[in-house]
Amino acid sequence: MTRRGRRAAASLIAAALLSSGCATLQPPPPAAASPDELWSLHRAQISAIRGFSIQGRISDGARTAQMLWHQHADSSFELKLNGPFGIGAVEILGSAGGVIVRSKDGVTYVTDPQAWMVANLGWSVPIDNLRLWVTGLPALGSAGQVRFDDAGRLAELAQNGWAIRYDSYLDVGSRDLPQKVQLENDDNRLRLVIDRWLALDLAAT
């Protein structure tokens, strides 16, 4: 090999070694986020929901009712149930002033909506808690036990005497919101299926 050829070969070897050395100095890829970290991001995103409208079904195992629920940012709501519960279509209207029930029997002013549900539907749900449970968040003001899925969303929640299981989620405008939810306590076992999230009222960012 000529002197010029040896110099060229040496230059190529040096370049290769330098390139190899640089490769070994590259930082390792970032570690995958933990379920707790993913939950913090997910919770912040879902907490921006102040109100919603959903269409779906609620079942007690033997009977199923169609459901339309409008939840407003001021905590007032309209919950419409239509199905084989023996009383026909029902509309439950709630606000800070109380609860009004409209049914085939007329208009009833209710101070204890859960007692009314038990007497007329055979089951009840804590509506104040359900407002957050249905979005995949724990209710405020009380402790709960949680388990997250791999995406950092609620998979199971035990709170206020209820066990809630989230079987599936829907992608709603880049937010993961519950689709199928099981709710159970000592007296009730309910299944909630959300067919459509019709609207979201989001806090300004």
pLDDT digits (tens, 9 = 90+) for 24-33: 455 554 557 8
Q: In the chain, how long is the greatest CA-to-CA distance?
A: 107
pTM for the full predicted model? 0.81
Please write the tens of the pLDDT for every residue from 57-84: 999 988 899 999 999 999 999 999 997 6
Element (H, E) at 79: strand 77-82
Please write the tens of the pLDDT for every residue from 91-146: 999 998 889 999 888 999 998 888 988 988 888 988 889 999 999 999 998 889 99
Please write the tens of the pLDDT for every residue from 143-194: 899 999 999 999 999 999 999 999 999 999 899 999 999 999 999 999 999 9
Domain boundaries, the chain: 35-198
CA distances to 78, 103, 142 from 92, rounded to whole Å, are 6, 9, 25
Residue 6 clears pLDDT 70, i.e. is over it? no
Query: 35-198 has which fold?
Result: outer membrane lipoprotein receptor (LolB), chain A (2.50.20)
Q: pLDDT value at position 54?
A: 97
